[in-house]
Amino acid sequence: MIEPGQPAPEFTLRDQDGNEVSLEDLRGRRTVLVFYPADFSPVCTDQLNVYQEVLPDLEEKDVQLYGVSVDGAFCHKAFQEKLGISIPLLADFHPKGEVAQKYGVFAEGHGVAKRALVMIGPDLTVEWAHKSPSPLEIPGANLIFDAVGS
């Protein structure tokens, strides 16, 4: 897994609406990439719902969240609408898991991203990273707040 202090790897991914989001778009703001295995799975649903609940508090601290999984943009759109969440979801679809691989959080044997959080600072350097010990363990929002320093 990527270590704090390293430059965040470059990427350009499409969000749930088909818009491109690149690493450079994150410059000037603290961002958390929320890597998760799959849309519509029970644990991923719970995880994103938890983060949606605290999203206003994170935005007050000028922290932007992006969900990242190997699902396509159309699947992300349906997932976002089903959950009623506003967190943008990025499609690491093709080449499958390329961004998760760059960040060291791709589960090769399963073909999905591992459950992980990567905080990127305003200067596009990795400030903090956390990988769940199990795909069934949701990293609590408290971990993000602790990393922000609140």
116: domain CATH number? 3.40.30.10
Rounded distance, CA 13 to CA 23, Å?
Answer: 9
**122 within some domain:** yes
**Domain assignment present for 35:** yes
- Scan for tokens 């969000």, then name that residue: 15
Tokens of residue 42, six digits = 């029970």
Q: What percent of the chain has pLDDT over 70?
A: 99
Annotated active-site residue in 38, 44, 65, 99: 44
pTM to 2 decimals?
0.96
Report yes or no on 4 lying in a domain. no
Asked if residue 3 is part of any domain, the answer here is no
| Residue 146 CB contacts under 8 Å (≥ 6 apart), including other chains | none
Number of domains in the chain: 1
Q: 50-54, 83-87, 98-102, 137-141: which has the minimum mean pLDDT?
A: 137-141
Q: Which domain holds residue 93?
A: 12-148
pLDDT in tens, 32-89: 999 999 999 999 999 999 999 999 999 999 999 999 999 999 999 999 999 999 999 9
The C-alpha atoms of residue 122 and residue 120 are separated, in whole angstroms, by 7
Examine the residue annotation and report whether 44 is marked as an active-site residue of this protein: yes
- Residue 47 tokens read as 């995880």
Please tell me the predicted confidence (pLDDT) of residue 150: 55
